[in-house]
């Protein structure tokens, strides 16, 4: 599932094409994805101007001139592609309609925004913009990792006394927004922390040290356009490249990349998810 860097990369790709532009026409080609689309969704989108395009955790939100916001979640295989718009030196012409093109928005500029999702685990909804984060999908999400509310003091207090593993604690969206399996594995490697260590028993300095590492890893991944493992593509159809910088994720039985370390990367399963780590570098 796309994590914060992938979602932010898609948002940045969509921003110059959607922000300030009017949705001239919208087509909804099926009744649902993960859950039913809101009533009259195509009608409610048509004619609306996109006033802002933002991200909250792993969700993209397009604020509309109608007072509603279009909430988008990519799910496991969802892709948002742009066509009919100049990107760099190239123009991406409109492709022929594909089987899994479930929602298509044609902008007044002529650009087309297509949501394609083969496995239909993605989602779209319309919510009142004024409600902010009160929507059920957003209400319990913790602070954004690049925001001022996410800091060393906050994370230390949040994890104090927690019996859960540090891996699970960082994956919990109530503690910090947007982190997923890939980037937590990479953060814990850089921090030298074993993923199974109890979060509440870590020294305060180790917890505090996670904050800049989380920001560094996410910033590097965004700069690389995210990580393309299966279905993920940027909005222009290109792959992300951060997977070429993985130090642990997906590298089971491969040599540790730390200088002077002779160990190999191991994998354990925590709450049904694979955790990759170096048994020598991470304690």
pLDDT of residue 232: 47
Angstrom distance (rounded) from CA 262 to CA 254: 10
pLDDT of residue 237: 56
pLDDT of residue 278: 98
23-43 pLDDT tens trace? 999 999 999 999 999 999 999
Angstrom distance (rounded) from CA 12 to CA 7: 9
Active site residue 3: yes
Helix, coil or strand: residue 239: coil
Rounded to the nearest 10 degrees, how much is the dihedral formed by the CA atoms of 14, 58, 278, 203? 130
pLDDT more than 70, % of the chain: 90
- Is it the case that residue 163 has pLDDT exceeding 60? yes
pLDDT of residue 228: 52
Pick the catalytic residue: 2, 5, 145, 195? 2
Cβ atoms of 13 and 92 within 8 Å: the answer is no
pLDDT of residue 236: 57
Contacts of 72 by beta carbon, 8 Å cutoff, 6+ apart: 59, 60, 61, 62, 80, 115, 122, 123, 124
> pLDDT band at 187, cuts 50/70/90?
very high
Helix, coil or strand: residue 191: helix
- Is it the case that residue 73 has pLDDT exceeding 50? yes
Active site residue 273: yes
Active site residue 158: no
In words, the CATH class of domain 4-134 is: alpha beta
Domain ranges of the chain: 4-134, 152-277
152-277: what fold? Helicase, Ruva Protein; domain 3 (1.10.8)
Of the CA atoms within 13 Å of residue 84, those in its CB half-sphere come to 16
pLDDT of residue 92: 58
> What's the whole-number mean pLDDT along residues 147-155?
97
Specify the higher pLDDT residue, 242 or 197: 197
Pick the catalytic residue: 12, 245, 273, 280? 273
> What's the whole-number mean pLDDT along residues 1-8?
88
Strands (E), the chain: 23-28, 50-56, 59-64, 68-73, 78-83, 85-87, 90-92, 101-107, 112-117, 123-128, 266-270, 273-277
> What's the whole-number mean pLDDT along residues 178-185?
95
Alpha carbon of 185 to those of 23, 182, 246, 248, 274: distances in Å? 40, 5, 9, 7, 9
Specify the higher pLDDT residue, 2 or 66: 66
> pLDDT band at 235, cuts 50/70/90?
low
Q: Average per-residue pLDDT in the chain?
A: 91
pTM of the full structure? 0.90
The interaxial angle of helices 204-223 and 152-159, nearest 10 deg, is 120
Pick the catalytic residue: 55, 56, 58, 112? 58
């Amino acid at each position: 599932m796309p994590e914060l860097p992938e979602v932010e990369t898609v948002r940045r790709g969509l921003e110059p094409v959607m922000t300030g532009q009017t949705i001239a026409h919208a087509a909804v080609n099926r009744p649902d994805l993960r859950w039913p689309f809101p009533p009259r969704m195509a009608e409610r989108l048509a004619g609306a101007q996109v006033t802002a395009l933002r991200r909250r955790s792993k969700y993209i939100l397009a604020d509309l001139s109608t007072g509603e916001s279009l909430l988008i979640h990519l799910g496991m295989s969802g892709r948002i592609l742009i066509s009919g718009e100049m990107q760099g030196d190239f123009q991406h012409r409109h492709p022929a309609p594909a089987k899994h093109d479930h929602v298509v928005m044609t902008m007044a500029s002529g650009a087309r925004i297509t949501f394609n999702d083969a496995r239909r685990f993605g989602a779209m909804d319309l919510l009142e913009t004024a409600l902010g984060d009160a929507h059920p999908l957003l209400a319990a999400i913790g602070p954004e990792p690049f925001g001022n509310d996410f800091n060393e003091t906050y994370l230390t207090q949040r994890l104090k006394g927690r019996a859960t593993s540090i891996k699970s604690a960082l994956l919990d969206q109530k503690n910090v927004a947007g982190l997923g399996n890939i980037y937590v594995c990479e953060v814990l490697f850089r921090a030298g922390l074993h993923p199974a260590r109890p979060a509440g028993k870590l020294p305060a300095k180790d917890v505090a040290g996670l904050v800049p590492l989380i920001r560094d890893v996410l910033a590097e991944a965004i700069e690389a356009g995210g990580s393309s493992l299966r279905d993920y593509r940027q909005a222009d159809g290109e792959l992300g490249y951060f997977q070429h910088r993985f130090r642990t994720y997906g590298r089971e039985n491969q040599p540790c990349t730390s200088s002077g370390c002779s160990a190999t990367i191991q994998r354990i399963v925590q709450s049904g998810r694979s955790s990759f780590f170096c048994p020598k570098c991470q304690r």
